[in-house]
Structure 1
Amino acid sequence: MLMEIAAAQHLIEVFSVEDDMASDFDAKILASLLGMPQSAGDDAGGNGEKAAGEDSEVLNVDQLRIAMSIDRCDIARTKILTDAKKWTQNDLEPLMLQALRDNQTEFAELMVEQGFSLNAYVKDSLMLELYGMSMAED
């Protein structure tokens, strides 16, 4: 089993807890979960290949959901919702609802920056649903 782990070095992330606790520890965990290298010079296995999460054309809704769940809009902006990826209105609609429902304004703004049309999305029924949710929380 140890040999199998050693053979998959691109899946291993080593860092110092003492040094990294002061810096961006949750960003390192998120990047590991998403299969993203930690710095611009890093790659998946040291061989020039991209990590699974780094394909510039691939849309990954699960990656965006993870970033939203730990409220890391900065990671979503730089690694997930990039200009290289062609997200559509339909791709982002359930995530926009989540952002609006959870009051994650940075994510909502980021999706609008990526071309999400609030005019096409917001209908009376949605406004009533969101209003009902906010009243239930109070």
Structure 2
Amino acid sequence: ELIAEQTNSDGRTVFLCTHNLTEAQRLCDVVGVIDRGWLRAVGAPETLARQMWERIWVDLRLAAAPAESTVAGLKALPFVSAVQADSAQLAVELGSENDIADLIALLVAQQERVLAVVPRAHTLEDIYFRLQSHDEGEEAQ
């Protein structure tokens, strides 16, 4: 909390070296990921996530379980890669954040009542492990 106070109130820059990725994501505007002595990535966590994952998952809460025709209609959309339906919950993989409005429009047109829309956010831990798996894949080749 002291670090957050100092940087916000005084406009100071603080370099934080930590293995606690949750803490780093909470405190830092810009992060650098160092792996085995190499700087693998630098940027805001949100920017790094957008660079690493083209597609996004969106969780939706509906007033009731969606009709089968609605789920089939979602699966037929060109920007939808996957749909998971569980009671009044939907998880939909989209091409990009820009597709959320079209997804909602289709649901409303199908008479579905949308109560909540939550895009899934990747954590700094997700980013780190994605970099790790990518590097290990290159070493294997």
Same fold, TM-score > 0.5, yes or no:
no
Structure 1 or 2: more strand by fraction: 2
Structure 1 or 2: more helix by fraction: 1
Bigger radius of gyration among the two:
2
Report the TM-score, using the length of structure 2 for normalisation: 0.28
Q: Identify the structure with bigger relative contact order (alpha carbons < 8 Å, sequence gap 6+).
A: 2
